[in-house]
Structure 1
Amino acid sequence: MPSNEQKRAAAKRKLQRQLAKRAEHERQRQRLTLVFAAVVVVALVAGGVFWWVQSRPKPEAPAVPAALSCAFEASPEPASKPVTKPANGPAAITPPTQDVTIQTDQGDIPVALDRAKAPCTTQSFLSLAQQNYFNDTTCHRLTTGGLSVLQCGDPTGTGSGGPGYKFADEYPVAKGKPVATTGSTFYTRGTLAMANAGPDTNGSQFFLVYQDSTLPPSYTVFGHIAEPGLVTLDKIAAGGVAPGPRGGGDGPPKIPVKIVSVDLSPANHAAPPAQPAPPAPPAQPAPPAQPAPAGH
Structure 2
Amino acid sequence: MDYPAQSRPHALTHRPTSAVVLALAALTVLTLLLLSGCGSSDSGGDSDESSGGSDSSAAARTCAYPADSQSAAKDVKAPAEEPEAKGTVDATIATSAGDLVAALDADRTPCTVNSFLSLAAQKYFDDTDCHRLTTEGIFVLQCGDPTGTGSGGPGYSFADELDGSETYPAGTLAMANSGPDTNGSQFFVVYDDSSLPPDYTVFGQLDEASTKTVADLAAKGTNSGAGDGAPKEKVTITGVSFDD
TM-score normalised according to structure 2 size: 0.73
Q: Which residue of 2 aligns with 1:154?
A: 145
In 1, the alpha carbon distance for the partners of 2:160 and 2:212 equals 29
Q: Which residue of 2 aligns with 1:240?
A: 221
The one-letter amino acid paired with 2:187 is F
Q: Which residue of 2 aligns with 1:198?
A: 179
- Describe how 1:15-26 pairs up with structure 2 within 5 A: none
Aligned length: 187
Larger radius of gyration: 1
Question: SS of 2:160's equivalent?
Answer: coil
Q: Which residue of 2 aligns with 1:58?
A: none
User: Conserved in 2, the CA contact under 8 Å of 1:108 and 1:228?
Assistant: no
Q: Deviations over 1:98-136 (max 9, x none)?
A: 001000011000000111110000000000000000000
1:66: how far off?
A: 5.3
User: Conserved in 1, the CA contact under 8 Å of 2:172 and 2:204?
Assistant: yes
- Describe how 1:233-272 pairs up with structure 2 within 5 A: 233-243=214-224, 248-265=226-243
Note closer, same or farther for the CA distance 1:93–1:132 as it changes in structure 2 (3 Å cut): closer
- Describe how 1:10-49 pairs up with structure 2 within 5 A: none
* 1:97 lines up with 2:88 in the alignment: yes
In 2, the alpha carbon distance for the partners of 1:118 and 1:156 equals 26
TM-score normalised according to structure 1 size: 0.61
Q: For 1:214, which of 187, 195, 202 is the aligned residue?
A: 195
1:91: how far off?
A: 2.2
In 2, the alpha carbon distance for the partners of 1:80 and 1:265 equals 27
Q: Which residue of 1 aligns with 2:63?
A: 70
In 2, the alpha carbon distance for the partners of 1:66 and 1:193 equals 19
Question: What is the RMSD computed on CA atoms of the aligned residues?
Answer: 1.5
In 2, the alpha carbon distance for the partners of 1:66 and 1:220 equals 17
Note closer, same or farther for the CA distance 1:93–1:126 as it changes in structure 2 (3 Å cut): closer
User: Conserved in 2, the CA contact under 8 Å of 1:73 and 1:166?
Assistant: yes
* 1:110 lines up with 2:101 in the alignment: yes
In 1, the alpha carbon distance for the partners of 2:214 and 2:128 equals 17
The one-letter amino acid paired with 1:236 is L
Identity, % of aligned positions: 57
Q: Which runs of 5+ in 1 are unaligned?
A: 1-64, 173-178, 267-296
In 2, the alpha carbon distance for the partners of 1:115 and 1:66 equals 8
In 1, the alpha carbon distance for the partners of 2:189 and 2:59 equals 29
1:93: how far off?
A: 5.3
Question: SS of 1:70's equivalent?
Answer: coil
Q: Which residue of 1 aligns with 2:204?
A: 223
Question: SS of 2:94's equivalent?
Answer: strand
User: Conserved in 2, the CA contact under 8 Å of 1:187 and 1:215?
Assistant: yes
Q: For 2:77, which of 59, 84, 104 is the aligned residue?
A: 84
Q: Which runs of 5+ in 2 are unaligned?
A: 1-57
